[in-house]
Structure 1
Amino acid sequence: MKFQEYDFFIILCAKHFTKLELDFAKTIRLMKKNYYFVRTKVDLDLDNENKCKPRTFDRAKTLQQIRSMCVNTFSQNNMDVSQIFLISNSYLSDYDFPVLMDTLVKDLPAQKRHNFVLSLPNITELAIDRKHSSMQQTVWLEACKDGLLATVPVVDILRDDVEELKLKLNHYRVLFGVDDESL
């Protein structure tokens, strides 16, 4: 694989981080690339803990224990980890998924940020707001371009503009997951 071509790496684990993931992170660090540790299936761990200890179950405490176990694994292997993201594959808007998305957007180079934001799932208010903001910038740039082109006298431009507008509007509908019924 051409690891140098990637901006960052996301290292996923469903239970405990193994030597393989830790060695991978060390290699990434040597390449001076960003990496993020993501602990998945947190909802299943919480459900299991609740079933085993229904009277003493504390959601926040259990999440902190999971996070602490991950941090301890890194400490025991002489690795610093700035942040560990706890996510659920079933409930993306819960836990640290929105924080992970926010972190990835901030750490991306500016020229790649727009495409990444548009690829985010429409599951959180923040993701939808980001898409909206990003698309507002695109619409403004398109309007400026079309305004400049309107100063050039060409007959077929109007017909092409209508077709292009239809394509763009359909793209926006798909982007935000809007269909005829929801309108």
Structure 2
Amino acid sequence: MDEFGSADNLTPDQIIAELDKKLKEWNTVPVNIAVVGNTGVGKSTFVNAFLGLKRKDPRAAKVGVVECTKEISKYPHPNNDKLIFWDVPGIGSQAFPAETYREKVNMIEYDFFVVMSSQRFTENDVKLSNMIKEMGKNFFFVRSQVDVDIYKQAKENDQSPEDVEESVMRTLREDIESRLKKLGMNDQKHFLVDNYSVDKYDFGDLFDATQSRLDEMQKTAVAFSCTHLTSKSLIEKRVKILKERIPLIATKCGLVLLDSSRNEVVYDEVCMYRTQLGLDIKQKYMLASGKENTLVKRIVRQIGGTVQAQSIAFIYKLCARFKSNVKYEQAKCRLEKELKSAHDEATENTRKLYTLVAGKTKS
């Protein structure tokens, strides 16, 4: 209860309200990510990949063969309207000249930047990157449309995409590193992605890198919002955050008087485990009520009308007399088991997915 200072002055309802506030805090923290680059490099498609939206979804960024990003566009994540991706025009165009670019796109407002290219990083990209660095902001270089390069090379060599994938990826990396070195951007992180296949190439590594540029609550916001993105590292990251919620949920269960309400709290949290770990949330979790001591039931009924007005210290003393603090331990134990089960299932599903992808690549 150290989370809330002096709990003695709070009623159970107030404690529960504070717990709920903390549990939902990740959904209230603003995160602003700017995706910048020249026309036609795939910024809009990249934004949609992170949002988990199909092209025809009315909430998706517009994608087309002509220039779509003529102005700054705002795209809130469908799972969290505080997580916003900004599709930003590239630097150096007539509408966004280098001299006034910083002010026009309001660069100070973004948490970090993704600088995109579909072929090579240009002097304008470097100019933009230096501008970002001067502001003390972070950025990544992202080379999109890797799949196009692979299929083009495969067609030229009369081979399958799988046969040339490794060599194309190696060539692209060497080319990018060489060009960035010539542009004075040694050791700058870069990622190769296919915006239509987020489980391939460097998309997962890019996601991990974005996390490293955020504070702890922002990391949780991004990890919990992008539930369509799954990888072994992301599963482990989410499990770590979910474990930290267990004492709060167990405390809430210890304060709730009715078994049905307590079960609902646990049920909702288990559903969250399964959603966050990419499992089927429709699977039924009927949580059986534990046997309640008759004496404790009677006491709860007797004080039910006045209990909300009592201090938390009084409630704890009363619970201790009849050992009903077991409710906290029961909830904590159940939640830990459910999280472990979900973690094991998600890890196995991920292993099978990558085994399947690897098998198709070799075949």
Q: Could you state the TM-score of these two structures normalised by the residue count of structure 2? A: 0.42
1:29 aligned to 2:133? yes
- Once the two structures are TM-superposed, the CA of residue 171 in structure 1 deviates from its matched residue by 4.0
Flag structure 1 segments of 5+ consecutive residues without an equivalent: none
Amino acid aligned to 2:281 = D
Counterpart contact for 2:271–2:281, Cα < 8 Å: no
- The correspondence of residues 70-81 of structure 1 with structure 2, limited to 5 A, is 70-81=176-187
Greater relative contact order (CA < 8 Å, ≥ 6 in sequence) = 2
State how far apart, in whole Å, the 2-side matches of 1:100 and 1:175 are.
19
- Name the residue aligned to 2:191: 85
Query: Which of 222, 227, 235 in structure 2 is aligned with 1:128?
Result: 235
- Name the residue aligned to 2:157: 53
Quick one: structure 1 residues 182 and 43, their matched pair in 2 at CA, closer, same or farther if it must change by over 3 Å? Answer: farther
State how far apart, in whole Å, the 2-side matches of 1:84 and 1:44 are.
18
1:65 aligned to 2:171? yes
Counterpart contact for 1:11–1:37, Cα < 8 Å: yes
Quick one: structure 1 residues 98 and 32, their matched pair in 2 at CA, closer, same or farther if it must change by over 3 Å? Answer: same
1:180 aligned to 2:286? no
Query: Which of 118, 128, 144 in structure 2 is aligned with 1:14?
Result: 118
- Once the two structures are TM-superposed, the CA of residue 28 in structure 1 deviates from its matched residue by 0.5
- Once the two structures are TM-superposed, the CA of residue 116 in structure 1 deviates from its matched residue by 1.7
Give aligned-pair identity as a percent: 23
State how far apart, in whole Å, the 2-side matches of 1:70 and 1:118 are.
32
Query: Which of 39, 42, 61 in structure 1 is aligned with 2:146?
Result: 42
State how far apart, in whole Å, the 1-side matches of 2:157 and 2:180 are.
28
Counterpart contact for 1:128–1:176, Cα < 8 Å: yes
Amino acid aligned to 2:276 = L
State how far apart, in whole Å, the 2-side matches of 1:122 and 1:66 are.
25
State how far apart, in whole Å, the 2-side matches of 1:49 and 1:165 are.
53
Q: What is the DSSP-based 3-state SS (H/G/I as helix, E as strand, rest coil) of the residue aligned with 2:141?
A: strand
Amino acid aligned to 1:85 = F
Counterpart contact for 1:122–1:176, Cα < 8 Å: no
- Name the residue aligned to 2:210: 104
Flag structure 2 segments of 5+ consecutive residues without an equivalent: 1-104, 286-363
- Name the residue aligned to 2:329: none
- Once the two structures are TM-superposed, the CA of residue 23 in structure 1 deviates from its matched residue by 1.9
State how far apart, in whole Å, the 2-side matches of 1:20 and 1:141 are.
49
State how far apart, in whole Å, the 1-side matches of 2:130 and 2:123 are.
10
- Once the two structures are TM-superposed, the CA of residue 49 in structure 1 deviates from its matched residue by 0.7
- Once the two structures are TM-superposed, the CA of residue 182 in structure 1 deviates from its matched residue by 9.1
Q: Could you state the TM-score of these two structures normalised by the residue count of structure 1? A: 0.77
For these two proteins, the number of residue pairs brought into alignment is 176
- Name the residue aligned to 2:318: none
